[in-house]
Amino acid sequence: MSLNREAATTLIYDQDDRFALETDTHLRGIRKKYIYGVRRTPRNDTLLITHGDPFREDDSQKYPILQVELRFNNAREKETAFKKLNEALFGRSDGLASRRPLKVIVNPVSGERRGNEVWAKVAQLLADAQIQTEVYFTEAAGDAETEAKRLIGKEEEYSGVMVVGGDGTVYEVLNGLTSRGDMFNDLPVMMIPAGTGNGMVASLGIRHYNRAALGVIQAIRNERSASLPEWPLLNYTLLQAPNGDEEDEPKALEHGVSFMGLHTAIATDVDIGSELIRGVPGRETLWAIKELVRPKHHPVKFSGKRKGGDDQYFESEGDFTYLMVMNIPWASADHHIAPDLDPRTEGMHVIHINRRDAPLRERFHAFTHMSDGSYINRPAVRRNKDVHKISVTDEAQRVGQNLFTIDGELKVGGQIDLEISRHKLKILYL
């Protein structure tokens, strides 16, 4: 973590949301919302204020951590300043954060095996903010869900759950926390982006793990749980596909919750297939070209209901190039699938392109313009908004021809039902 320091002689005043610091040559301000914490140093006359650069908040590549060094005449002045700073910043003169530890679940192999690297940097920021942590490292698929199950009924013991990983790790944690059905764990959850997709944090307007960590620190230290943002969750059921006998009901194979939604057709083929060439620059684009030019078909049927009454029913079937059921606007940091979807509203967006409506050039255009969401206005793109429930059925004759993913997790074939849950995901972020 690169740290830049500048010396300051003293804290002058606290006005509105900004600290003013007088150095030997000038007066500068730091906005409170960008301050991580105040660190005592071994030197008797020095404190460090750790903060982020507000001008880099939307930068996908950088969110530098800065330090301002405050020097005092003696240890007593230093301690007085420490108490006043923490009182002004967090309403607590002792500098302590929440009395409850933060549960941290780290997936070391997320993304390009960046989990441990990202966690090491975030851990220092949490230490600066004097936030206690209880850390668990996953070793295999399913570990995050198993660990999250152990947190059920322990809402009063932890300030929240911080997931260092990707959307798949968040998916596991949420399914662990909700595994008792109607008994929903109310622990707030936040993701520190270390995966390849990171759609959850992208939907919060976050591009860098430092900025995500600052949001967690703000939420814990301000102890304003009532003001934390909330998103509706989806309940999903994976069913065995009907075998053609109308009297046979599909058999339920799996139940769970989703925060993102469902993908199928090329969107899923690229997501899953490009993992085979992990580490190759532009791997998703290369795999998308492969999928778009070859004659692979995706016969799917779906039907659903929008909010507003029985007359809001819709259905469609065909050979789809794209079919995406979105509960949040971003599927990943590079794919703005539902640009006008507010994740706080209780309504999914169903977005689809039928192959017959889209020649090859149009299909390429859709993929290359998903990064900014402009593809949504193309004539071939169809949308259903404010959807309360939907059922998507694999119509392929060959098992595995259609791949489904829920929050990036593979679900092969069959039928998937999704509906808005009465439970909401509380986000550990301010």
Give the residue with greater pLDDT, 31 vs 236. 236
pLDDT tens per residue across span 73-120: 888 888 888 887 777 777 766 656 667 899 999 999 887 778 899 999
- Please tell me the predicted confidence (pLDDT) of residue 182: 58
Q: Contact at 8 Å (CB) between 234 and 420?
A: yes
Distance CA 211, CA 365 (A): 32
- Please tell me the predicted confidence (pLDDT) of residue 2: 36
Instruction: Tell whether the model's pLDDT for residue 248 goes beyond 70.
Output: no
Q: How confident is the model at residue 1 (pLDDT cuts 50, 70, 90)?
A: very low
Give the residue with greater pLDDT, 283 vs 188. 188
**Helix, coil or strand: residue 117:** helix
pLDDT tens per residue across span 158-210: 999 999 999 999 999 999 999 876 556 789 999 999 988 899 999 999 989 99
Q: How confident is the model at residue 64 (pLDDT cuts 50, 70, 90)?
A: confident
Distance CA 119, CA 128 (A): 14
Q: Which of 213, 220, 161, 215 is nearest to 185 (CA)?
A: 161
Instruction: Tell whether the model's pLDDT for residue 11 goes beyond 60.
Output: no
Amino acid residing at 374: S
Average pLDDT across the chain, whole number: 84
Question: How far apart, in Å, do the first and last CA atoms of the chain sit?
Answer: 23
Q: Tokens standing for 368?
A: 């290359």
Q: Contact at 8 Å (CB) between 402 and 413?
A: yes
Ordered DSSP codes for 349-383: EEEEEEGGG--HHHHHHHHHTTTTTGGGGSTT-EE
Neighbours of 254 (CB within 10 A): 13
Range with the poorest average pLDDT among 56-60, 315-319, 382-386: 56-60
- pLDDT more than 70, % of the chain: 85
The pair phi, psi for residue 332, each rounded to 5°, is -160, 175
Distance CA 309, CA 261 (A): 23
Q: Contact at 8 Å (CB) between 328 and 351?
A: no
Instruction: Tell whether the model's pLDDT for residue 20 goes beyond 80.
Output: no
Distance CA 239, CA 253 (A): 5
Q: How confident is the model at residue 359 (pLDDT cuts 50, 70, 90)?
A: confident
Q: What is the mean pLDDT of residues 379-398?
A: 91
Range with the poorest average pLDDT among 45-54, 81-90, 153-162: 81-90
- Tokens 């300051």 belong to 8
- Please tell me the predicted confidence (pLDDT) of residue 22: 62
- Please tell me the predicted confidence (pLDDT) of residue 4: 47
- Please tell me the predicted confidence (pLDDT) of residue 101: 92
Q: How confident is the model at residue 157 (pLDDT cuts 50, 70, 90)?
A: very high
What DSSP designation does 150 have? T
Q: Tokens standing for 35?
A: 């301050």
- Please tell me the predicted confidence (pLDDT) of residue 3: 41
- Please tell me the predicted confidence (pLDDT) of residue 271: 78
Element (DSSP H or E) covering residue 177:
helix 167-177
Give the residue with greater pLDDT, 277 vs 268. 268
Range with the poorest average pLDDT among 67-81, 122-136, 150-164: 67-81
Cα-trace Rg, the chain? 24
Give the residue with greater pLDDT, 286 vs 202. 202
Instruction: Tell whether the model's pLDDT for residue 373 goes beyond 90.
Output: yes
Instruction: Tell whether the model's pLDDT for residue 247 goes beyond 80.
Output: no
Instruction: Please state the pTM of the whole predicted model.
Output: 0.88
Instruction: Tell whether the model's pLDDT for residue 8 goes beyond 60.
Output: no
